[in-house]
Structure 1
Amino acid sequence: MVVLSRRPERRSKASASVRPGSPSSDSRTGADQESSGIRGRRMPPGLPRASCTALAALLTAALAFVPIGPAHSFTGDNHEDITRAALPWEPITLTEMTDARAGAINANDHPPYFDVGPLHCDNADYLAPRYAPDYPRTRDEATTELLACIRTSVTRLRNAVEAADGLVDADGKVRADQSDLSSHCTWDGKPGRAKCAVLEQLGRGWHQIEDFYSHSNWSDRPAPGPVGLDNPPGLERTDVAPFLDIRRYSAMKDADWTRDARERIPADLATGCYTDIDSTGVKPADCDGRVTHNRALNKDTAASPRSKTGDNFHHATAGATAEITRQWNDFKAELLAKYPDHRRGAQMVCVLVHDEPAGACP
């Protein structure tokens, strides 16, 4: 049996026990988050924010081509719980993907990726004229930010399918050296074991998809009272978002899938403004006069203001879980379709699910 050494301890006992629905005693939400510029997920200690110039370069890579090779969001614990609930994988592989501090699903929450808005589905804020006649962002600008977020996931899926080719040989036999997890993966984009490469691409593509459900008004409802900047409308949707059809979009030309996605985005859909770099390379100094991530929309923790209305937090986590289940099933289907010879695609799926695929996937 493969035995991994324990990951270095990163959490206190109190924070390690936080699960969805249980706010952490040291979580920073609402006005505290707004003033600090940090969301429910805390920045790793001792790591300064990258310069805008460096982040703009990273943004260009994220939106154009992301080489195989690293909240704004639900806290790391919540990303872990959502992803664990969605994936029927064996424990070692599942931990490599989901670990709250060092899993692939949380890699986008470390600098410099932390500051790239499309990697968290940020800045698609919008209020229709019936709510705010002089809102500073148009529907088209908000939709453009959502499309930028989707584009990063489309690119990552394409990369994951390509990386999976290294999991088995031409005859479908498992390549043990490429699927071994006796040592931890590192999410640094550098060439390495094929299984680690696939996990990194999937994790970095799924993170923002989970964030969409937390950061948007797709599944939530507003608090009682007038709808406005601090209380945007909610769509109360219970289905997975049709414009997150990442597998189908990955097979289409970019112009075609963006047209399709644009047509499927509801008029009142929004995510919150956050002071990270948007798809145009601009990092706003503040979010004055806009629907904000921190005060108005995020459901990153159960303690977030928007989470406290009805079952908004539960709906966000349930939506994200259902979405990742869909994304995993679609990825499996893509491998089966892309690599049919000698059951290579089926073997690739087996490698990803099992901790010791050399024995489990003959």
Structure 2
Amino acid sequence: MVAVLLVSCLLWVPAPATAFGTIEGGGQHREHERITRAALACHASAASSGDCFEPKSADQLAGHRKSFGAVGAPDLTEVSDPSAHCDDADYLDGGYPRTRAQATRGLLACVDHLRGRFREAVERAAGLLDDGDALVGAEVDLGIDCVLDAGSEQRAKCRTVEAFGRALHGAQDFYSHSNWADVTDLSRPLGADNPPGLGLPAPSPVLDLRGTGTPAVPAALSTGCFVLRDRVPGVEACTGRVTHAGLNKDNGTVDPSTGGVTAPTTPRGSVADNFARAVTGAIVETRHQWQEFRAALQAAYGRTRASLMICALTHDDPLNDCRRHSTVTVVLVISAGLIGLAGAGLLVFRIRRRRGWLMRRG
């Protein structure tokens, strides 16, 4: 009876929309992890200077082995939320079942959702430091992997990385689930099963996660409609519409070091170099969002504190690596010294010049 009830319950659990993969199997090849590593993991044994994540820290953001990592967290707890994956913003010009305004609202719901995750990450970073602006050992310790559940995970580094990873997930999905970067199949007529491709580069101004204004949305931009029976042509609520199944470029092999791709397996991803376009766009966007996040920390906490926070997030042993003066602090000290020397030199020059003038008058 217990087994029967368990199977019955599982049958009622909504299946997630297919996205860049978070597991190895079922057609997925851990695409989110590999994209994130290609974008932000430090190469080989290189130490981080703030632009990349060292191995243990990269594991928490990207995932490893059976762990989803922060970037895969939405596939654990937000599988049925289209705003977490930039789904359900479909549109096609000419007699389409949805208006451009409806599609734009769906896309902006995704942007707003990702902005919320981005802000959460900035706010949670405050817990990395104590009142004296020193790193808190318990908050940055990675003796055990982060738990992707804010209710039980208390470490500030893990909570910050999780929120940022959730923002990255949707930003990466935007390139797979939309026609922003891809091209259409020229061998077939345009339609719901073959929407136009915009062929645009990354980063996308639509994904302005630091901003608060309404981003401009191209008139032909579309993502896919998703229902559990995701297919082409669309069924149920997706009848007559551009579907997730017809537009996504989710699956294939991604090299976690170079970002190179092989073997795309979805119909849209197999058209021309669409899978490569989606992966490249996601990698560029991921790097861009990390730059934006660092800038947001500086704006919120000042350069010195933000430098410590960035060091703590990217280093595996921040207590040893980050307690020394940060690069920003050193630069500021050197700059202040140079300015002081320049000022002193200018003062001496003026005194000598004045003395010379007085002597000539005498």
Residue 305 (structure 2) aligned to one of 337, 341, 344: 344
Q: Deviations over 1:270-289 (max 9, x none)?
A: 0000017xxxxxxx944111
1:182-221 pair list within 5 angstroms: 182-190=143-151, 192-221=154-183
Question: Cα distance, 1:228 vs. partner?
Answer: 0.3
Equivalent residue, structure 2, for 1:265: 217
| Number of aligned positions between the proteins | 275
The secondary structure found in structure 2 opposite 1:115 is: coil
Residue pair 1:160, 1:197 contacting (<8 A) in 2 also: yes
Gaps of 5+ in 1: 1-45, 56-70, 277-283
Distance in 1, matches of 2:197 and 2:313, equals 37
* Structure 1 position 84 matched with structure 2 position 37: yes
Q: Deviations over 1:101-148 (max 9, x none)?
A: 4211001112x411111111001111001xxx2x11110010001000
Residue 169 (structure 1) aligned to one of 118, 130, 134: 130
1:271-282 pair list within 5 angstroms: 271-275=223-227
Residue 127 (structure 1) aligned to one of 66, 83, 92: 92
Distance in 2, matches of 1:238 and 1:156, equals 24
Please tell me the residue identity of whatever aligns with 1:128. Answer: D
Equivalent residue, structure 1, for 2:204: 241
- Percent identical among aligned pairs is 43
Distance in 2, matches of 1:165 and 1:90, equals 21
Q: Deviations over 1:246-295 (max 9, x none)?
A: 11x1xx3xxxx13xx1xx1100000000017xxxxxxx94411111111x
Superposition RMSD in Å? 2.0
Q: Deviations over 1:50-98 (max 9, x none)?
A: 579xx9xxxxxxxxxxxxxxx3310121101111111110000101111
Equivalent residue, structure 2, for 1:103: 69
Residue 238 (structure 2) aligned to one of 271, 287, 296: 287
Equivalent residue, structure 1, for 2:250: 300
Equivalent residue, structure 1, for 2:112: 151
Equivalent residue, structure 2, for 1:67: none
Question: Cα distance, 1:226 vs. partner?
Answer: 0.6
Q: Deviations over 1:164-211 (max 9, x none)?
A: 001012332111100001011111121500001101101111111100
Distance in 1, matches of 2:71 and 2:297, equals 20
1:4-23 pair list within 5 angstroms: none
Please tell me the residue identity of whatever aligns with 1:275. Answer: V
**Shift >4 Å, 4+ stretches:** 46-52
Residue pair 1:72, 1:109 contacting (<8 A) in 2 also: no
Residue pair 2:14, 2:80 contacting (<8 A) in 1 also: no
User: Between Structure 1 and Structure 2, whose CA radius of gyration is higher?
Assistant: 2
Question: Cα distance, 1:223 vs. partner?
Answer: 0.6
Distance in 2, matches of 1:169 and 1:272, equals 45
Aligned pair in 2 of structure 1 residues 322, 75: CA closer, same or farther (>3 Å)?
A: same
Residue pair 2:172, 2:286 contacting (<8 A) in 1 also: yes
1:39-54 pair list within 5 angstroms: 50=13
What TM-score, normalized to structure 1? Answer: 0.73
Residue pair 1:221, 1:234 contacting (<8 A) in 2 also: yes
The secondary structure found in structure 2 opposite 1:235 is: coil
Please tell me the residue identity of whatever aligns with 2:280. Answer: A
The secondary structure found in structure 1 opposite 2:272 is: coil
With CA pairs under 8 Å and 6+ residues apart, which has the higher RCO, 1 or 2? 1
Q: Which moved more, 1:232-241 or 1:100-109?
A: 100-109
Residue 191 (structure 2) aligned to one of 228, 242, 250: 228
Question: Cα distance, 1:47 vs. partner?
Answer: 5.4
The secondary structure found in structure 1 opposite 2:238 is: coil
